[in-house]
Every structure is written in C-alpha cells, then in structure tokens.
C-alpha cells in the first residue's frame, strides 16, 4: 500500500492543475472529483461481499494493477473529458484496495489491538501520500506532467509485482462462510440503524477530503500559490495525517474512541473556517495541517469502530459499506464545492462545510446519538 499510494500521491494533488491546463472550470473540477469518488460509493459494498465469500487477496492484487492502469491512461489525455473517464477507472480501482486491505487486517487482529494496528496500516499508506506530493511538485516544475505520470506508473507497476508475488505465495487468503448479502434475514442482521451515526461522521470528513483534493489546489493557486507550493502544502497535510495515524492507538486510550471522533470534527471545522477567511500561504499551511490532524484522528477510529460493531461473518461487507460511505462523501464534496465556488464565491465551500462539521460534532455529543457509536 505504501508503493501504491506513493505512485498515486506523486500526481493526485496536481490533477486539478493538469485539468486546468486542458481548460477545466471550477465546475469541471468538481465533476472530475465527483466521478473519481462515485464508483467508491458503490463498488466497495460488492467487493466486500465477494471477499467474504471467495477470499481477500486476489481482489487486492487486482486493485493494485487497475490503479497502475489508470495512471497510464493519464499519459493519453488530451481534453477534460478524458480526465473524467480516467478518474472513473481510478475510483473503481480504489474500491479493491482499502476495504479489502482493512478486511484482511480485521481477520488477523484481536479487537483490543485493532485501532493501533489499523493506525499503523494507515501510517504506511499515508506515508506514500506524504512523500509523493513533494516529488510530484518538483517533477512537474522541472519536467512536466508526462514525465510525472510515467514515474508514477513505474512505481505503481512495482507495487503490482510485490503484491502479486506476496499473495501468490500466501494463497487465496482468509475465507469465510458464504452468505447471501441481500437476503431479508441478513439485512436485519447487518443492523444499518446502529451504524448511522458512524456513517454520518465518515460522510462529513470524506466531504472535506473530496473538497481539498479536487478544489483546493486551484483555489490556492488563484491566490498566488504555485504548483511547487501546492505540492508542499499537501506534503504538510501528509506529515500531519501520517504522524497522527501512528498515535491513533494512544489517542483512543487517552480520550476513548468516541471522544476522538468529536474532537476530530471540531478541528475540521476550525481549519476550514481559517481556509475560507485568511487566504495566504502561511494560513493555508496551518489549515491543511489541521485537516491532516483531524483526518488522521478520524480515519482509523471509524474503521475500528465499524469492524468491532460488525457480525463476524460480515466484516467484508460492513467495511465495504463504511468505505462506500467515504466514497459518497468524496462524491458530494467536489461537485457541491465546485458549484458553490461558481455561484456563491470561491470561499463559500470551506465556510459551509466548516459549519456542517461543527453541527455534526454538536449532534453527536447528545447522549442518545453519541451512545450509538
């Protein structure tokens, strides 16, 4: 996963700037972000259910290879619609990565250590996103986007070789009793209602991530931040998130997992408000560092909570639903952010979602709802 996210991280924050060169508007940027996330709002559910029946490993290897293929397609893009189609492929590829990897980890970890181990897993994939943007900014400044995508493709193919060799030796992976996912009996057993507060949290912070990766690079660029410094900003984001992932186990012990969720939402709210009101490079750096801190708190804790609440034979589909909810937020964030930027002003997405995050934290503090987590 480190190699996968390193390959993606080199170019991912710079895709909006690449699309801008091809003539993309703010609405186009929102559309590109939306279609990237849209498959992730659906496919993880089906992928998760399949891994419950047929084993995890082959699906993960397929996801790694498909991610590399989507990177290659960027070298062929000549217009904005090409970027839209490529992002759809990338969104499908993502559906075979995180939910499957998280299910593999859940299969082999005891409940009491799960948050800590998921934090370590998150550290490694976040490390790729941390290192990648800095090198991506340097490569674009010196060599251009074509070389950027070729370097990313080489790294992605290396990841595919590593995954294939490792999992072929290990076999098909953990297999569980086959179940009928959409049968009435299992629908009731899944218990959607108890997950709703958790899904709300995931939806909010994934909206923020969708906005930051799809709209923010051009937003910052409009206030004088160059491609190089966009890469630096996302490196700061990666440092903050990665460091927080490593401390996720300690945070859950100090505050308990439920309080970590509320604190993460409040930090998100503050950071987005700063981003909307004070549009200078130092404050962009502060804001995006806080967003890295908040998402580093929320990501492993929400996955851990979902895995603990899941029935043993339904871990794959439960985490599939969790990741699909993340994909839904990543779908909503870019398109609504792009529309708000076009209609209400470029600052409006950050201020509106800041308010949404704060209201969600207040909503969860209420005993009735907070207890459901």
Who contacts 28 (Cβ-Cβ below 8 Å, separation ≥6)?
A: 19, 80, 338
pLDDT at 321: 81
Residue 214 lies in a domain: yes
Residue 178 lies in a domain: no
> Which pLDDT tens digit goes with each residue over 2-28?
999 999 989 988 888 899 888 888 788
Q: Provide the 3-class DSSP secondary structure of residue 180.
A: coil
Alpha-carbon gap, residue 143 to 335, rounded angstroms = 31
pLDDT at 6: 93
Question: pLDDT band at 147, cuts 50/70/90?
Answer: very high
pLDDT at 42: 83
Tokens of 219: 């937003």
Residue 49 lies in a domain: yes
Residue 295 lies in a domain: yes
> Which pLDDT tens digit goes with each residue over 28-83?
887 887 888 788 888 888 888 888 777 788 888 899 999 999 999 999 988 999 99
Q: Provide the 3-class DSSP secondary structure of residue 56.
A: coil
Which structural domain range is residue 308 located in? Answer: 2-171+191-370
| CA neighbor of 335 nearest in space, from 216, 217, 215 | 215
End-to-end CA distance of the chain: 29
Residue 218 lies in a domain: yes
Residue 299 lies in a domain: yes
CB 206 within 8 A of CB 327: yes
- pTM over 0.75? The answer is no
Question: Tokens 């397609």, residue?
Answer: 73
Alpha-carbon gap, residue 148 to 160, rounded angstroms = 19
> Which pLDDT tens digit goes with each residue over 170-225?
544 444 444 343 433 444 445 566 777 888 899 999 999 888 888 898 899 888 88
Tokens of 283: 């404050």
Residue 332 lies in a domain: yes
> Which pLDDT tens digit goes with each residue over 245-278?
877 777 777 777 778 888 999 999 999 999 999 8
Residue 93 lies in a domain: yes
Alpha-carbon gap, residue 247 to 245, rounded angstroms = 5
Domain count, the chain: 1
CATH of the domain at 262: 1.20.1250.20
């Amino acid at each position: 996963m480190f190699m996968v996210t390193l390959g993606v991280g080199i170019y991912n924050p710079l895709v909006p700037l690449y699309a801008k060169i091809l003539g993309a508007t703010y609405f186009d940027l929102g559309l590109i972000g939306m279609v990237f996330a849209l498959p992730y709002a659906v496919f993880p559910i089906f992928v998760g259910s399949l891994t419950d029946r047929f084993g995890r490993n082959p699906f993960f290897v397929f996801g790694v290879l498909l991610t590399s293929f989507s990177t290659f397609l960027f070298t062929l893009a000549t217009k904005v619609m090409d970027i839209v189609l490529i992002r759809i492929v990338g969104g499908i590829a993502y559906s075979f990565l995180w939910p499957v990897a998280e299910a593999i980890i859940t299969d082999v970890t005891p409940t009491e250590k799960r948050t800590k181990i998921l934090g370590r897993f998150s550290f490694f994939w976040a490390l790729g996103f941390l290192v990648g943007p800095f090198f991506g900014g340097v490569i674009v400044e010196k060599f251009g986007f074509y070389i950027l995508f070729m370097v990313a493709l080489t790294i992605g193919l290396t990841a595919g070789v590593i995954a294939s060799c490792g999992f072929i030796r290990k076999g098909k992976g953990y297999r569980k009793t086959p179940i009928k996912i959409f049968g009435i009996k299992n629908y009731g057993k899944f218990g959607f209602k108890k997950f709703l507060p958790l899904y709300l949290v995931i939806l909010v912070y994934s909206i923020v991530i969708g906005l930051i990766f799809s709209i923010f690079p051009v937003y910052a660029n409009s206030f004088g931040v160059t491609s190089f410094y966009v890469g630096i900003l996302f490196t700061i984001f990666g440092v903050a998130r990665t460091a927080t992932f490593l401390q996720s186990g300690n945070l859950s012990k100090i505050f308990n997992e439920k309080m970590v969720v509320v604190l993460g939402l409040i930090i998100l709210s503050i950071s987005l408000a700063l981003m909307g009101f004070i549009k200078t490079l130092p404050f962009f750096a502060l804001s995006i560092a806080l967003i890295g801190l908040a998402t580093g708190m929320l990501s492993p804790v929400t996955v851990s909570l979902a895995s603990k609440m899941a029935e043993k034979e339904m871990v794959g589909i439960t985490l599939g639903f969790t990741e699909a909810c993340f994909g839904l937020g990543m779908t909503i964030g870019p398109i609504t952010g792009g529309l708000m930027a076009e209609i209400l002003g470029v600052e409006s997405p950050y201020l509106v979602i800041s308010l949404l995050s704060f209201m969600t934290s207040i909503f969860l503090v209420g005993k009735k709802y907070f207890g459901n987590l």
